């Protein structure tokens, strides 16, 4: 059974969204943190909507602490500095601030040294999408029945495939090193925040040019931790996003992941663009 206390939803004039997180059937605690908030821009009357998902890195100390600090810092930074003139820089700075906050936390509490988390932050301003990411949490766009992954994974697997090592060695997501992160919050170096957005139509040479991607009526966004994508393939994700209610779709996605094993924490944020 899903606990409704884990489900948050709200409706704005331009979107409907829901957040849902479950610790799964194997982990003793939930190391995911998901937040969403509507803001008024500091330089105009424009409404901005921000969502962030941080997934505490398994095997590190206090992953749930890193995820909470990361998500809360990103949201707080956006709320304090939201300007419509440079949302990409805002997101980048928010993620870097989150990394600094985690470093400070374990400097003050040495027992937490080594804690880390993924970070995926999305900002919507007047139906335009901006994105920043570190790690293997994912953002998807469901448009006219087709699912598109918007961000890139930062894992040993994806780095190997990019170098054309994977296909020759038959590397898959079941490989023991597949989920080792190459970018994450908690790095002692300033993180290289990924500002690329995959093209869903005509490819571009520099994917950072896709920032500000316009959303159209009927678009649906899914932001999720790997606890979902390790359980469900693209077809199954689409099957669980057919309801008109963001809340129902969030429930269906998490329940499906749990039914298939729920080996990890499962967190989703579903956003519907109004028609």
Q: How confident is the model at residue 160 (pLDDT cuts 50, 70, 90)?
A: low
Q: How confident is the model at residue 163 (pLDDT cuts 50, 70, 90)?
A: very low
Say which residue, 96 or 13, is predicted with more confidence.
Answer: 96
**CA nearest 120: which of 134, 130, 101?**
134
Residue 81's pLDDT is what? 86
Contact 66, 54 (CB under 8 A): yes
Residue 214's pLDDT is what? 96
Which pTM was predicted? Answer: 0.89
Please state which of the four CATH numbers 3.40.50.880, 3.40.47.10, 2.40.420.20, 3.60.40.10 is assigned to the domain occupying 4-273.
Answer: 3.60.40.10
Taking CA atoms, 132 is separated from 1, 188, 246, in Å, by: 33, 19, 23
Tens digits of per-residue pLDDT, 192-219? 999 999 999 888 889 999 999 999 999 9
Kindly tell me the burial class for residue 110, based on how many C-beta atoms sit within 10 Å of its own C-beta (0-12, 13-18, 19 or more).
Answer: exposed
Within the chain, residue ranges assigned H as helices are 63-81, 87-108, 156-162, 166-169, 226-229, 234-239, 246-259
């Amino acid at each position: 059974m899903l606990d409704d206390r884990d489900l948050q939803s709200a409706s704005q004039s331009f979107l409907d969204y829901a957040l849902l997180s479950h610790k799964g059937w194997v982990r003793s605690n939930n190391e995911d943190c998901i937040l969403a908030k509507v803001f008024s821009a500091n330089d105009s009357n424009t409404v901005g909507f921000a969502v962030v998902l941080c997934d505490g890195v398994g095997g590190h100390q206090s992953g749930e602490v890193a995820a909470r600090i990361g998500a809360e810092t990103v949201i707080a930074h956006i709320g304090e500095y939201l300007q419509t003139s440079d949302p990409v820089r805002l997101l980048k700075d928010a993620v870097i601030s989150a990394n600094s906050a985690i470093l400070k936390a374990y400097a003050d509490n040495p027992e937490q040294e080594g804690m880390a988390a993924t970070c995926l932050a999305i900002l919507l301003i007047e139906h335009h999408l901006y994105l920043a990411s570190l790690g293997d949490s994912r953002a998807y766009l469901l448009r006219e029945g087709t699912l598109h992954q918007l961000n890139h994974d930062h894992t040993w697997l994806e780095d190997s495939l990019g170098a054309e090592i994977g296909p020759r060695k038959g590397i898959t997501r079941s490989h023991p090193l597949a989920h080792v992160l190459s970018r994450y919050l908690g790095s002692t170096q300033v993180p290289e925040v990924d500002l690329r957005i995959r093209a869903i139509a005509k490819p571009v040479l520099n994917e950072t040019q896709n920032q500000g991607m316009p959303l159209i009526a009927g678009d649906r966004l899914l932001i999720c931790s790997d606890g979902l994508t390790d359980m469900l393939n693209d077809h199954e994700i689409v099957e669980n996003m057919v309801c008109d209610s963001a809340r129902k779709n969030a429930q269906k996605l998490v329940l499906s992941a749990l039914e298939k094993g729920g080996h990890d924490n499962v967190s989703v944020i579903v956003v519907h663009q109004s028609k």
